[in-house]
Structure 1
Amino acid sequence: MTLTDTPAPREAAAELGINSLFGLHGRTAVVTGASRGIGAVLAEGLAAAHASVVLIARSAQGLEQVADRIRSAGGTALPVACDLTDRSQAAHACQEVLERTGGVDILVNNAGGPLFQAKFLDVREEGWDKVFNLNLTSVVRITQLLGHGMVERGTGSVINISSIGALQEWPEISHYCAAKAALLSLTRSLAADWAPHGVRVNAICPGWIDTDVNRAYTADPARRRATGAAAVPLGGWAPPGDVLGTTVWLASNASRFVTGAVIPLDGGSSVGMPAHLRAQLAPTA
């Protein structure tokens, strides 16, 4: 084939079956922490890609609001209020999900958060346990409960939302960083374990995302500048929607040969600030 024989972009897209690559028709997706922030955006985005979406979070009111938006847009949403850090609640919620849906194809483990800021020597054991229960143990719990069906059917995609804190130092939230780093280790091990069964497991590490969880940084102009353009080569804070494209890709057939991947979604902050940008951002006399 010569260069002049190359199909036009639209024809090439048709040959690749773009809709079949990225579309999620006929699939059921579970998104945890779906009542607000990144989780709400991911739930709505997966529904827009034609997945039937199960929304899990503690706030029943927040879930209903997200579910109403999905339904108003023509999508299918099932809100399930549940505290995943409670073993009995998680088991009951997963049983309801399986009974109502018949099986899960996509699991997005998004629920999490640092809960508090403290220097390492000031972190009490009960605080450490709460952070690990939310960010790691609850992920293990729901992935075991819903993963059986994926393994039995020989297909599925698990997407763990970790954090750039798992890849970088962050002294004020070492407890959170440690839990999210453990989640990355779990991701890689589970990817190897489940690959022979056709189930893919990947992780996304968001950086500075402008959500209500980060209001302590975004509401303070000085802290926002310090954690924005000065720290992120691509510039500033990202909206929650910037996590959506990678999530849909990992959920879809477009990434069918990808498992065990850890994807920084941080505007380049994990690779450092280029020297010429540092010079441009340096304060002048």
Structure 2
Amino acid sequence: MSEPFLRSLFGLEGKVAVVTGGSGALGAAMAQGLARAGARIAILARRIEPANAVAAALADAGSDAFALSADVRDRTQIEHACNTILERWERVDILVNAAGGNMPGATLAPDAALRDLDPDAFRTVVDLNLIGTLLPSLIFGAAMIAADRQGVIVNISSMAAQRPLTRIAGYSAAKAAVDNLTRWMAVELTRRYGPGLRVNAIAPGFFIGEQNRSLLLNPDGSPTARGASVIAHTPAGRFGVPDDLIATLIWLCGPGAAFVNGVVVPVDGGFSAWSGV
């Protein structure tokens, strides 16, 4: 297979990509993948130190990258970040909404009653995952529209959106809303502004991060009872690793996916396909 043919399908040379939550394990891996495909990268994160570290690693590898501090729930901060990126590169072509997460209060403890679920924590998780996807999409989407009505938004969903998981209340509800928002925005943007604007999502299966490590792994690295249950229901027989997301992301962002719009792509080792029987 020739390199020009692959570039015509997947090449991102010269594109400007913004990755929110780009200092996390999944966000950093996706930023690296986009950079290796030729994109210039803006890393957005609340804490600037880890974001700078990711951007520096990309720059050391020969990519054009820099970091900005911004809370995805704060419209003013996102607008400032967008303006900074436009001043530097004059355009935004790709937005990856990788910021998100969970918190203990929005998760029901094993021995807790339903009334013990904390509505304030639930609201915080919904704000982080749903509003934290909506606001960057509105602001960077407007920049895409203002430029040439060309651009790609990729949201990060979850298996928790598609198949209810025990205990994980706030995160599941928020990611289910992200799926719905993805489809709504895909239709709205394309019908209103043309086929050059696309919105899709990736739904990762079970990946180990700092927030779920103790839930899925013991201190010695072996699976907990819940982790073992996850693996038992994943035909691939393992947890995902961040690099598993890169090929799907590059495909969704690239020219070869020009007719792919409004889909949520599972990257889950077969978890969503298996009934458990």
TM > 0.5: yes
Deviates more, 1:28-37 or 1:143-152: 143-152
Equivalence map 1:1-285=2 (5 Å): 10=1, 13=2, 17-116=5-104, 117-119=106-108, 120-152=114-146, 153-196=148-191, 197=194, 198-220=196-218, 221-223=223-225, 224-228=227-231, 230-272=232-274, 275=277
SS in 1 for 2:43: strand
Distance (whole Å) between structure 1 residues aligned to residue 122 and residue 77 of structure 2:
21
Aligned residue for 1:4? none
SS in 1 for 2:208: coil
CA contact (8 A) 1:165 1:177 kept: yes
SS in 2 for 1:171: coil
Structure 1: runs of 5+ lacking an equivalent: 1-9, 276-285
Distance (whole Å) between structure 2 residues aligned to residue 194 and residue 242 of structure 1:
29
CA contact (8 A) 1:211 1:239 kept: no
TM-score, length of structure 2 as denominator length: 0.89
Give the superposition deviation at 1:212. Answer: 2.4
Measured at CA, do residues 87 and 125 of structure 1 come closer, stay the same or move farther in structure 2, by a change above 3 Å? farther
CA contact (8 A) 1:115 1:131 kept: yes
Measured at CA, do residues 127 and 274 of structure 1 come closer, stay the same or move farther in structure 2, by a change above 3 Å? closer
Largest Rg, 1 or 2:
1
Structure 2: runs of 5+ lacking an equivalent: 109-113
Please give the per-residue CA displacement for 1:165-202, whole angstroms capped at 9, x wherever unaligned. 00011131111111101111111111111124220100
Which amino acid is 2:134 matched to? V
Give the superposition deviation at 1:273. Answer: 5.0
Aligned CA RMSD, in angstroms, stands at 1.6
Measured at CA, do residues 236 and 32 of structure 1 come closer, stay the same or move farther in structure 2, by a change above 3 Å? same
Which amino acid is 1:204 matched to? I
Q: Point out 4+ residue stretches in structure 1 off by more than 4 angstroms.
A: none
Measured at CA, do residues 170 and 274 of structure 1 come closer, stay the same or move farther in structure 2, by a change above 3 Å? closer
Identity of aligned residues (%): 37
Give the superposition deviation at 1:274. Answer: 5.8
Distance (whole Å) between structure 2 residues aligned to residue 247 and residue 269 of structure 1:
19
Which amino acid is 1:39 matched to? G
Measured at CA, do residues 274 and 178 of structure 1 come closer, stay the same or move farther in structure 2, by a change above 3 Å? closer
Give the superposition deviation at 1:270. Answer: 1.1
Distance (whole Å) between structure 1 residues aligned to residue 216 and residue 161 of structure 2:
21
Give the superposition deviation at 1:41. Answer: 0.4
Give the superposition deviation at 1:264. Answer: 1.1
Aligned residue for 2:111? none
CA contact (8 A) 2:198 2:260 kept: yes
CA contact (8 A) 2:102 2:211 kept: no
CA contact (8 A) 2:204 2:267 kept: yes
Distance (whole Å) between structure 2 residues aligned to residue 204 and residue 146 of structure 1:
19
Distance (whole Å) between structure 1 residues aligned to residue 116 and residue 149 of structure 2:
46
